[in-house]
Every structure is written in structure tokens, then in C-alpha cells.
Amino acid sequence: MSENLELENVSYKKNRQEILKNINLKIGKGKIVALLGENGAGKTTLMRIISGLAKNYHGIVKVNGEQDVVQRKANLSMTDALKGLLESYTIEQVKNFFLSLYSDFDIEEFEKLKDFMKLNDEMKLSQLSRGMKQKLEIALTLSRKTNLYLLDEPFSGIDVMARKRIINSILLWKDPDATIIISDHFVNEISSILDEIVIIKDKTIYRHLSADDVRAEGKSIDQYYEALYEDGGTE
């Protein structure tokens, strides 16, 4: 088994609308993958299906070969806005939540990432700016030692310098076999670390290709992505 993620004929409807259809995707171990698409294309929904948050979908989803939703959750880590916790919670209390309930949560890794993100334990969630909250989400997500990481627009509120530092450091701490899927609009900034790109368009996987193949054509990834929409989808 060399894939960390497999999706077979996955479809999903909500509010009487088809959101995704005929999703077939396989992503191998150790890959960093960009999940691209316009707003409302279904990127977040796809991540929610993979993580088991979205229910009543059709098709097969496997994470590290496991189809059972509890096993999938145990094998992945996803960014989360922490809305389920009280705004009066301090970072210390959030840390304890993760430490108590996730057996794969690495406290030492979290302390390093927390210092890297310039956060401290006494800060309350209500006191954090949007960017600081996203840094906390990234630190918590990456501190879990799992096979698959789902980062859903993790950098949107973070300043450009901090974004560059965080993106460049992902390669340093990442386990060689762990797969990361990043959904983000800052294509240009994450392109240097990408192995593959997956583009969602018209409710399905429009393209799934290697980043090196795009670069071999002499294009940057964001140029390739923009071209798809300018030409109405033709290459």
C-alpha cells in the first residue's frame, strides 16, 4: 500500500444541490499536494469528506488503507477554527484539550511551533487576531504525528513574511511518509514545496498532475492554474 489517500467515485449533495461528483483520486505517501479551485468549487467539502466530517456521501474514502471513519480520523490531522472551544480558553487550555484527547499529539513539537509562531500559553482565543489564530491552528495541526494533514486555507490571515517562514519550515519538520494537502489561494507562495496539484472544477477533479510536469513546460504553477480559467479550461 503506497497511497495515503484514496477516493473512489465519491459524490456529495447538500441543500438539494450537487456539490461534488465522480471524485477519483489517489495520493501517495510523502507528497505535498495543492488543492486548487475557485471559491465554492468544493475544496473544503472534499477535505470534510476525507476527514469524516461530511456524512451521507457516496463512494469510498480510504486514509492509509482504512475506510472506517474512526480509523481515518485517527490517521489524519485537519486545521480547525476551534469554534467548539470557549473563546475564554487560553492556549494552555487548548493545548491540554489536544494532549488529553489525541494520543499522537507531540507536546514538544507543539512548544517549538508555538515559539516559532510567537504565541504564548496565557493568550486567550478571544484575544488572538485572525492571523494569530491561524498560526495556532497550524501549530496544533502539525503537532499531531499522523499520515495525512489537511490544511484548509491555513495562511489567509497570516502576514506575508510569517507565511514564507511557515511554508519553508513545513519541509523541515514533515515526516518523509506523511502527506500534506493544502487548499490555498496563495498558489505562488506554496508552489516551491509542491509535489502535485489537484484542481477542482465543475464539481469534479479537473486535473491531477505532478508539479514537476508543470515546471517542465516552463510555466509556474499559478500561471498554469490561471491559464485554465482564462482559456475556459483548455490547455
* Binding positions for another protein, rule: CB under 8 A: 14-17, 48, 51-56, 70-71, 73-74, 78, 80-85, 97, 100-103
Rank residues 87 and 159 by Cβ distance to another protein and give the closer one. Answer: 87
* Residue 70 Cβ vs another protein, minimum distance, rounded to whole Å: 5
Rank residues 141 and 191 by Cβ distance to another protein and give the closer one. Answer: 141
* Residue 34 Cβ vs another protein, minimum distance, rounded to whole Å: 22
CB 20 within 8 A of CB 49: yes
Question: HEC states along the chain?
Answer: CCEEEEEEEEEEEECCEEEEEEEEEEEECCCEEEEECCCCCCHHHHHHHHHCCCCCCEEEEEECCECCHHHHHHCEEECCCCCCCCCCCEHHHHHHHHHHHCCCECHHHHHHHHHHCCCCCCCEHHHCCHHHHHHHHHHHHHCECCCEEEEECCCCCCCHHHHHHHHHHHHHHCCCCCEEEEECCCHHHHHHHCCEEEEEECCEEEEEEEHHHHHHCCCCHHHHHHHHHHCCCCC
- Written as nine digits, the cell of 181 is 494537502
| Nearest residue to 102 via CA among 82, 84, 77 | 77
Rank residues 48 and 95 by Cβ distance to another protein and give the closer one. Answer: 48
* Residue 16 Cβ vs another protein, minimum distance, rounded to whole Å: 6
* Residue 76 Cβ vs another protein, minimum distance, rounded to whole Å: 9
* Residue 32 Cβ vs another protein, minimum distance, rounded to whole Å: 21
* Residue 72 Cβ vs another protein, minimum distance, rounded to whole Å: 8
Rank residues 55 and 118 by Cβ distance to another protein and give the closer one. Answer: 55
Rank residues 62 and 163 by Cβ distance to another protein and give the closer one. Answer: 62
* Residue 36 Cβ vs another protein, minimum distance, rounded to whole Å: 23
Nearest 5°: CA angle at 67, between 63 and 72?
50
Rank residues 66 and 195 by Cβ distance to another protein and give the closer one. Answer: 66
Rank residues 15 and 39 by Cβ distance to another protein and give the closer one. Answer: 15
